[in-house]
């Protein structure tokens, strides 16, 4: 991490001992159907669609089927979002900084459209052409360190709970959407858990690990299978065991049968009763 990056400044000034109740979940999935689907999609569309795009789409489908998760808490009450928006974290300056790229209506967009939109957003961020991010960076550079925590708390509440835009600070309403997706697989890490970011006020943080060949049992025989581990950090105010089971079931369903994404515009069946 760069010595004086915005990322480091935020990490130092907003850190505190954990107080919130969070749930941590882990899914190890057969990645082979998803990889075959992505290869076919790249061949058909010519766009570079990755496993991180795929995981984001699966999470969006899960949120669409879980209106009790895709929302915000205001005045002690839960209010659902009108759309399913998901943010991806984008690495800047060779890992020296991070920024978010939010995809609106991710559950309703084709995978190749998601890939193109995310690439365009990431390019703007890396070239310093994202006006909101540049405004935020400029503001944070000027603010004394001791004011960062209260400022972020206030702006986070105004933007993520009330749904206000604060143009002077480069903050849009509901800036992170309903979930944050990040990946460490590209760095060769098998798995990890995302630390919650209180000022983001997001109920779900998903981390995509590396794809590895692993032994597994299929039909009573040991085979080598390409597997992917996905972990999630979940806000317990939104998620209990039932909701966690719903999320896991839908994500697993998308990985087992990726082609359902081609025609799926309505929420996937969210029955987790097992009947």
H-helix or E-strand containing 251? helix 241-256
Residue 6 has a pLDDT of 63
Regarding pTM above 0.75, the answer is: yes
227 Rama class: left (phi>0) / alpha (psi -120 to 50) / beta: beta
Residue 14 has a pLDDT of 63
274 Rama class: left (phi>0) / alpha (psi -120 to 50) / beta: left
Residue 26 has a pLDDT of 92
- Structural domain boundaries in the chain: 6-14+23-258
Residue 49 has a pLDDT of 94
Q: Measured in whole angstroms, how far is the alpha carbon of residue 187 from the centre of its chain?
A: 17
Give the end-to-end CA distance of the chain in Å, rounded to a whole number: 49
H-helix or E-strand containing 131? helix 131-142
Can you spell out the DSSP letters for 37-80?
HHHHHHHHH-----HHHHHHHHHHHHHHT-TTTSEEEETTEEEE
Q: What is the pLDDT along the chain (275 residues), one digit of tens a residue?
A: 444 566 666 666 666 666 667 888 899 999 999 999 999 999 999 999 999 999 999 999 999 988 788 999 889 888 999 999 999 999 887 767 788 999 999 999 999 999 999 999 999 999 989 888 888 888 878 888 788 888 888 988 999 999 898 887 788 899 999 999 999 887 888 888 988 887 888 989 999 999 999 999 888 999 999 999 999 998 888 877 777 788 889 999 999 999 988 865 444 555 544 44
Residue 274 has a pLDDT of 43
Q: Which CATH superfamily is domain 6-14+23-258 in?
A: Chloramphenicol acetyltransferase-like domain (3.30.559.10)
């Amino acid at each position: 991490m760069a010595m004086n990056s915005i990322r480091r400044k935020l990490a130092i000034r907003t850190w505190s001992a954990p107080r919130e109740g969070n749930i941590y979940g882990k899914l190890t999935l057969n990645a082979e159907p998803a990889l075959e689907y992505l290869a076919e999609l790249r061949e058909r569309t010519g766009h570079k669609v990755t496993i991180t795009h795929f995981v984001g789409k699966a999470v969006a489908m899960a949120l669409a089927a879980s209106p009790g998760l895709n929302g915000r808490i205001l005045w002690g009450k839960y209010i659902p979002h009108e759309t399913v928006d998901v943010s991806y974290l984008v690495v800047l300056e060779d890992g020296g900084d991070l920024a978010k790229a939010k995809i609106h209506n991710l559950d309703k967009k084709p995978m190749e459209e998601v890939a193109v939109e995310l690439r365009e957003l990431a390019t703007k961020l890396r070239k310093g052409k994202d006006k909101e991010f540049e405004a935020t960076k400029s503001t944070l550079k000027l603010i004394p360190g001791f004011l960062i925590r209260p400022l972020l708390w206030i702006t986070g509440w105004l933007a993520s709970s009330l749904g206000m835009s604060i143009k002077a600070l480069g903050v849009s309403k509901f800036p992170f959407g309903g979930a944050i997706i990040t990946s460490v697989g590209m760095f060769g890490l098998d798995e990890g858990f995302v630390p919650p970011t209180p000022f983001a006020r997001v109920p779900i943080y998903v981390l995509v690990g590396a794809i590895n060949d692993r032994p597994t049992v299929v039909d009573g025989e040991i085979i080598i299978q390409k597997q992917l581990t996905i972990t999630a950090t979940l806000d317990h105010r939104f998620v209990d065991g039932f909701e966690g089971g719903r999320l896991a079931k839908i994500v697993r369903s998308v990985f087992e049968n990726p082609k359902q994404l081609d025609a799926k515009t309505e929420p996937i069946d969210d029955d987790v009763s097992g009947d």
